[in-house]
Amino acid sequence: MSTYSSRSESSRSEAGTRARHAAKVAILGKRDVGKTSLISRYTKGTWSNFMPATVGLAFQQKEVTVDGHDVRLDIWDMAGQQRFDSLAGLAFQNVVAAILVCDCTDEESFEEMQLWAQKVQTHQQQPLIFAIACSKMDLEVTGRAISRESIAAYAASLGAPVFETSAKEDVQVSELFEEVARRLVRSRAREVGERKLGSPAVQKRLARIELCRTHWLYGSTALQPQLWARGGVEGKIERQLAKLPQEVREIIERSPSSCC
């Protein structure tokens, strides 16, 4: 069973038109990189210069709408001190996405962020969705310690987007969490689509589409008049594609060979 579908809730909004999802997101990094400040800015719209350090684990929720889907992010804030490592099993259980945080003025935080990524991956059987927050960009003028090139190279190894954030000035904070939600929705859609793609009904319809293409390409005189009578082969294929589940159509749009 896929990570997202087994660890999220799906229902319908009161209007009955938007899917709803819930997903557990861990925010990880060295102590004092600003994890709690990012969460506070996003969930409460507040920032304080005297944010108390997280003791053990903290938890916040935020609902957001992306791509027509309502997503509830269950955000778990893991204390950065090593003495709380024993809580990792609880913090990482059922996590589907992780936000890795480093302080742009602290080179060591970049190295420790990578260790946190390794820790959370050891607790998962399925690939995680990652995003990276290079925090405290309002302090960049005092001396940046982590190059953009280094962060970009590491992010590429994870397939993660990078956001240069400032909780103090509210820069790229909402964008960070919303991109995580967007990737969660897309991951869910891919998983549903792949599952439906293998169903007998979908395979039967795909076989009809391929039959139309084959007869058209190789000039079947038996089938061409029938196709033309209903608007031509393109119309026939379009009608068959329109009957497929949306998630399957999205897979075909990304990879046309999926239906061949």
pLDDT for the residue 181: 94
To which H or E segment does residue 238 belong? helix 232-242
pLDDT exceeds 70 at position 216? no
Residues 238-252, mean pLDDT to the nearest whole number: 62
End-to-end CA distance of the chain: 25
Last residue of a domain, one of 192, 216, 237: 192
Say whether both 185 and 149 belong to one domain.
yes
Say whether both 239 and 130 belong to one domain.
no
Say whether both 161 and 216 belong to one domain.
no
Neighbours of 133 (CB within 10 A): 29
Per-residue pLDDT tens digits for 74-117: 999 886 555 545 566 677 888 999 999 999 999 999 999 999 99
pLDDT for the residue 143: 86
pLDDT for the residue 67: 85
User: Is residue 259 within 8 Å of residue 204, measured between CB atoms?
Assistant: no
Say whether both 173 and 221 belong to one domain.
no
Residues 214-229, mean pLDDT to the nearest whole number: 50
Say whether both 160 and 224 belong to one domain.
no
Contacts of 232 (CB under 8 A, 6+ apart): none
Residues 123-151, mean pLDDT to the nearest whole number: 92
pLDDT for the residue 128: 93
Q: How many CA atoms lie within 13 A of 214 on its CB side?
A: 8
Say whether both 157 and 251 belong to one domain.
no
Last residue of a domain, one of 158, 192, 226: 192
Say whether both 137 and 173 belong to one domain.
yes
pLDDT for the residue 137: 96
Say whether both 172 and 52 belong to one domain.
yes
- Global pTM reads 0.70
Per-residue pLDDT tens digits for 139-194: 998 889 999 999 999 999 999 999 999 999 999 999 999 999 999 988 877 776 55
Cα 50 to Cα 55: distance, rounded to the nearest angstrom? 15
Say whether both 45 and 157 belong to one domain.
yes
Say whether both 160 and 228 belong to one domain.
no
pLDDT exceeds 90 at position 227? no
Q: Could you list the residue range(s) of the whole structural domain that residue 108 is in?
A: 3-192
Residues 235-259, mean pLDDT to the nearest whole number: 60
pLDDT tier, 260 (very low <50, low <70, confident <90, very high otherwise): very low
Q: How many CA atoms lie within 13 A of 7 on its CB side?
A: 20
Nearest Cα residue to 21 out of 254, 197, 186: 186
Task: Domain count for the chain, please give it.
Answer: 2
pLDDT exceeds 50 at position 8? no
73, β-bridge pairs: 23, 62
Say whether both 206 and 162 belong to one domain.
no
pLDDT for the residue 4: 36
CATH number, domain at 63?
A: 3.40.50.300
pLDDT for the residue 58: 79
Say whether both 226 and 179 belong to one domain.
no
Last residue of a domain, one of 192, 218, 241: 192
User: What does pLDDT average to over the chain?
Assistant: 76
Residues 229-244, mean pLDDT to the nearest whole number: 58
pLDDT for the residue 74: 94
pLDDT for the residue 57: 75
| Range of 24-33, 147-156, 226-235 with top mean pLDDT | 147-156
pLDDT for the residue 127: 86
